[in-house]
Amino acid sequence: MQISVMLNGKKVTEEIKPDLLLIDFVRNHGCYSVKRGCETSNCGLCTVFLDEKPVLSCSVLAARADGHAVQTLEGLQEEAAEFGAFIADQGAEQCGFCNPGMIMNAIALFRENPDPTDDEIREYLAGNLCRCSGYEGQLRGIRAFIEYKKQGGAVCS
Amino acid sequence: MQLVGQPIRKKDAMALVQGKPVFTDDLAPKDCLVVKVLRSPHANAMVKNIKTDIAKRVPGIEDIYTWEDVPQQRFTMAGQTYPEPSPYDRLILDRHVRYVGDPVAIVAGANEECVEQALRMIKVEYEVLPAILDFRKAKDNELLVHPEDTWKSLCPVGADNKRNLCACESSDHGDVDQVLADCDVVVEETYHTLANQQAMMETFRTVCYMDTYGRLNVFSSTQIVFHARRILSNALGIPKSKIRVMKPRIGGGFGAKQTVVAEIFPAFVTWKTGKASKMIFTREESQTASSPRHEMEVSVKIGADKDGRIRAIDVYTLSNTGAYGEHGPTTVGLSGHKSIPLYGSLEAHRFAYDVVYTNTMSAGAYRGYGATQGIFAVESAVNELAGRLGMDPVELRLKNMVREGQTMPAYYGETAKSCALDRCLLRAKEMIGWDEKFPCRDMGNGKVRSVGVSMAMQGSGISGVDVGSATIKLNEDGIYTLMIGAADMGTGCDTILAQMAAECLDCQMENIIVSGADTDTSPYDSGSYASSTTYVTGKAVEKACEKLQIKICERAAEMLSCTVDKIEFDGHRAKNLENGETVTLQEIGTSSMCGNECALQVTETHSSPFSPPPFMAGMVEIELDKETGHVEILDYVAVVDCGTVINPNLARVQTEGGIVQGIGMALYENIQYSDKGQMLNQSFMQYKLPTRLDMGKLRVEFEESHEPTGPFGAKSIGEIVINTPAPALAHAIANATGIWFRELPITSEKIAMGIARK
């Protein structure tokens, strides 16, 4: 079947097999930030935006994205760098394998709720597993980023 | 110090947070063969007949290999220094399959679909044999996991395949039985820990291809490039010189990747076909056919006077190495050698163990490496002892803990040259408010708040065995390249080793390029495991930089026409003290590339006769729901003595990450086998990793000591941090419920049922 997807702002039209998963579709198009961590929708590593809503691309058929916009971290490099710097300043990126999915979901959180409480952060990102950091450093980074944004993005950490 | 001790950002951090393609599968050739294996559905069976002809006809299939196609010399997949203590008990494919998941056939094809299809079309006839699933029944059972005569043990570890023994030993100091008989109080209990999965987010994976020179290039997510080269040579029966192993960024290791879990299959395919190939483990394979923690049952006898003087500890460990012996003989040693020495004034101790084969998945290396299991047992027993003595468990520890300068007979006779354990415990006590909170407070709403405590130790590398090396060279623009064979698996060793180099060479972090690990270009390093990199490789970096600085001064002296003793070098500029003339580092680097016979490059190697233990104290406050058994972690405080802290950010995150893994091990991460030997927790649905809702508040502090044999006074941090949660949580739960849980994980169900039975 043929699908047409706006992938990171570029229109991609392609003949695909009906059972192709969105994660494999985007990786086939060079979006390597999207990682497969579990195959059972438990880890959050494969998070992408489907029409600006975070979804787990391992559990979405590529066919579902036909006529829709898909964004991965490749299309959000500036936001990733701006926010990611605060994670990096805690050393909380560690191995980095879970970072793209967590950062996608964190960007979604900030768009929905620019000033979340710690509990709201934990709840929103609960589906993003990390085996290295113990989460506390990520929380410190997120808090510092929120503070920086509140100051108009002018104050560096 | 300018850079050592600073919270410097990891060198690869920005690439990682931006999701750059830096991991194994991101860099695989697009047209490479996909490799998968057919796995045994039986826990113990012989392959009577295997038919691959129909499967080979699936379009896109390159080839299918069975036990008849592979070399017949046995090897171990354990990444250890040669001669490996782990027995040579594996073949790439064996006619005798020994656990549910053991490989039966290798399939290589153009894509995942055709390989999956071919896997379903291979017809195997098995002779199903009875299996040993209970490790308590394995020793001297008439059923043998490894009956074959080609089984081989290279080291005197007490292994005997005709008794299902992978290792056994007994050591002691003083007359334990006599001292215990003379003690006022003796606690005697048995503790059981399961075969937890490291569950790093990136599963096992390897890409292989042939290079211009006809050599096998192996690009793998591994902690041990050099050991991997030797293991592949052993398995494939080809010379080591024909193999090159490299690692890109690694998506977490925790010891899992100290075993060559994935590498052999694609390496075999590429060597046979000449074509590039890759093997990417599914999460299910990573859960069921990999290299988890050794299941252990640790029996502890601990005796004390009624005034709380601990006089003797007797530990016996039974360890389950599963179907193969990877890390079996070595992990078990830590269960005694890194738990008993926490107590400094013992009159006697004994430590004995058996490591047995069973028909379950082979175990391997997992952060803590046996110390985690032993410390759960010994620290729990000490907490039980405090209860029997009616003493505060913190007071009991302060009275008995190892102190700086003490000799540790159970720790290979080493002296604790650096030890701030007393300060760690006192600070943790203050942070959590122990005196107000111990043992528990009933909140009056069906919930109880309680606290628990544990101490821990580990090592820093394997004394007299681990080798770390560093090559440092000056480039023409005054920038250095640091080449290492240690493996940064997310821990940040590339960065902390660069910090040490920059500190020694008086330069900025940006002026150190880090390169590694690659068996063709990196200097030899045992690899990143056993908490060795900071301590062992770090010292090699320090030594190499000191020597390079001398060479730089010599070159400058030549350029400035003076003797080297007249040169003053500040890291940027060398000055002739006689006339004030100077040359810049850049000029020195450039001049080394014209008419020069002295390389501005140094390789240094280091190995230590000591393995100085880091120490720590962990305390937890929980709220336990008496109706549901649910445990909520309110506060976890950890105070760590890792010697000098090289990078406080990275040390803190190591600690936090280790504690949360330890919480998972203590409360959630269950391993269950069916009566047919199938591992049931094969996905993250059934194997519950802690999420950010499960870990409460973590607070980490450091109490520095100065380790005289370490680089800048540093010891290790990577492994010790997983050791306190299990005993501290078991203690807190006992303080809340009056019930001692001696088997992990302590799930809500177990707690609720325990309370109901009481």
* pLDDT for the residue numbered B289: 98
CB contact under 8 A, B656 and A73: no
Share of chain B above pLDDT 70, in %: 100
CB contact under 8 A, B254 and A92: no
CB-CB neighbors (< 8 A) of B659 in chain A: 134
For B553-566, what is each residue's pLDDT tens digit? Answer: 999 999 999 999 99
Q: For the residues B51-55, what does the mean pLDDT come to?
A: 98
Q: For the residues B307-329, what does the mean pLDDT come to?
A: 98
pLDDT band at A154 (very low <50, low <70, confident <90, very high): low
* pLDDT for the residue numbered A155: 44
* pLDDT for the residue numbered B307: 97
Does the beta carbon of A106 lie under 8 angstroms from any beta carbon of chain B? no
Q: For all residues of chain A together, what is the average pLDDT? A: 96
Residue of A nearest to B248 (CA): A95
Task: Give CA separation, B715 vs B32, B418, B490, in Å.
Answer: 43, 9, 19
Question: For residue B226, what is the enclosing H or E element?
Answer: helix B225-236
CB contact under 8 A, A131 and B7: no
End-to-end CA distance of chain A: 49
Residue of B6, B9, B18 best to disrupt the A interface, most CBs of A under 10 A: B18
CA distance B601 to chain A (A): 30
Who among A37, A87, A134 is closest to B698 (CB)?
A134
CB-CB neighbors (< 8 A) of A45 in chain B: 201
CA distance B117 to chain A (A): 15
Q: What is the DSSP letter of B9?
A: P
ipTM for the complex? 0.97
Q: In this model, does residue B167 exceed pLDDT 50?
A: yes
For B712-749, what is each residue's pLDDT tens digit? Answer: 999 999 999 999 999 999 999 999 999 999 999 999 99
Residue of A nearest to B657 (CA): A134
Beta bridge partners of B454: B618
Q: For the residues B410-415, what does the mean pLDDT come to?
A: 96
CA distance A89 to chain B (A): 6
* pLDDT for the residue numbered A156: 44
CB contact under 8 A, A131 and B18: no
For B598-641, what is each residue's pLDDT tens digit? Answer: 999 999 999 999 999 999 999 999 999 999 999 999 999 999 99
Distance CA B83, CA B225 (A): 17
pLDDT band at B1 (very low <50, low <70, confident <90, very high): confident
Q: Which of B730, B703, B719, B732 is nearest to B635 (CA)?
A: B732
Instruction: Kindly give, in sequence order, each residue whose CB lies less than 8 Å from that of residue B530, ignoring residues fewer than 6 positions away.
Output: B369, B459, B461, B462, B466, B719
* pLDDT for the residue numbered B758: 86
Q: Could you tell me where the beta strands, DSSP code E, fall in chain A?
A: 2-7, 10-15, 47-50, 53-56, 69-71
* pLDDT for the residue numbered B76: 98
Residue where the block lists tokens 């027995």? B87
Residue of B nearest to A20 (CA): B113
* pLDDT for the residue numbered B448: 98
CB-CB neighbors (< 8 A) of B492 in chain A: 91, 94
CB contact under 8 A, B656 and A134: yes
Would you put residue B724 in left (φ > 0), alpha (ψ -120 to 50) or beta? alpha
CB-CB neighbors (< 8 A) of A39 in chain B: 282-284, 683
CB contact under 8 A, A40 and B21: no
CB contact under 8 A, B653 and A123: no
Distance CA B707, CA B727 (A): 27
Say how many CB pairs under 8 Å bridge A and B.
Answer: 181
Contacts with B, A 130-149, CB within 8 Å? 130-139
